[in-house]
Structure 1
Amino acid sequence: MATRRIISTEKTILDKDDDDNVGSAGQQSSSTAPAVPMDVILKLLAFTLAMVVMPIGSYFLTVNTVFRGNSTYAGGLAAIMANVVLVGYVIVAMNEDQSDQLEAKKKGNKKE
């Protein structure tokens, strides 16, 4: 089996990657901005916490007080609360997506 020797004038894959990061002025361009905005991460964490706390909390709060020991009804309520949190997250995500589109349209109209 033959191996390929790299000639010193030939660019390797790593050299080509370095060239992609170089800006028009010859300086390397780097972006330290996060890939996901902080408000999106906070919303995700809030809904994750709600997904854990609301169903379990509603079960234990209602199993002995509202449903008088009937764990089937309390479990059903917990499942409904999990679905409420899930639907709430979907609605918030859709509204956020629509607000991003509206902002892009407003910026496009201001430039004209």
Structure 2
Amino acid sequence: MASRRTISSEKGFIEKGDATAFSPAALEKSNIAPAVPPGVIFKLLAFTFAMVVFPIGSYFATVNTIFRGKMSNSTFAGATAAFIANVVLIGYVIVAMKEDQSERLEAEEEAKKSK
């Protein structure tokens, strides 16, 4: 396994005394706001929770209630769980597309106002 050896004549970042990285001007340019809005993260977490809970819940809810008398009740209950997973996935895609459209419309309205 290869490793990098430091040569004693080389100076590291701290030893160089590069004050530009820690200057007040560099800190003012820094933007510590999250890259993704909290609403988007909340929607993703909600749909992730739904993607885990709804299909599993629908499987166990239907395997012993709706498909009790069928010969292959677990197959039908599994198909129901797969259908529910697809419904959740399609719902997420629809919500994401509507959110993207609303952001684009807001940007267009702001551009019209600034003219």
Q: Shorter-chain TM-score: which interval?
A: 0.7 to 0.9
Q: Larger relative CO (CA 8 A, sep 6+): 1 or 2?
A: 2
Gaps of 5+ in 2: 1-6
- Mapping of 1:1-112 within 5 angstroms? 18=21, 22=25, 28-68=28-68, 70-112=73-115
Deviation at 1:30, TM superposition (A): 1.9
Shift >6 Å, 4+ stretches? 3-6
Deviation at 1:109, TM superposition (A): 0.6
Counterpart code for 2:101: Q
Larger helix share, 1 or 2: 2
> Judging changes above 3 Å, is the alpha-carbon distance between structure 1 residues 5 and 77 closer, same or farther for their aligned structure 2 residues?
closer
SS at match of 1:65: coil
Counterpart code for 2:96: A
> What is the alpha-carbon distance in structure 2 between the residues aligned to residue 64 and residue 95 of structure 1?
38
Counterpart code for 1:82: A
The range that moved more, 48-57 or 68-77, is 68-77
SS at match of 2:33: coil
Deviation at 1:31, TM superposition (A): 1.1
Counterpart code for 1:18: A
Deviation at 1:72, TM superposition (A): 0.4
Deviation at 1:5, TM superposition (A): 7.0
**TM-score normalised by the chain length of structure 1:** 0.77
Q: CA RMSD in A?
A: 2.5
> What is the alpha-carbon distance in structure 1 between the residues aligned to residue 91 and residue 50 of structure 2?
10
> What is the alpha-carbon distance in structure 2 between the residues aligned to residue 50 and residue 74 of structure 1?
18
Counterpart code for 1:81: I
> What is the alpha-carbon distance in structure 2 between the residues aligned to residue 79 and residue 62 of structure 1?
12
> What is the alpha-carbon distance in structure 1 between the residues aligned to residue 41 and residue 90 of structure 2?
18
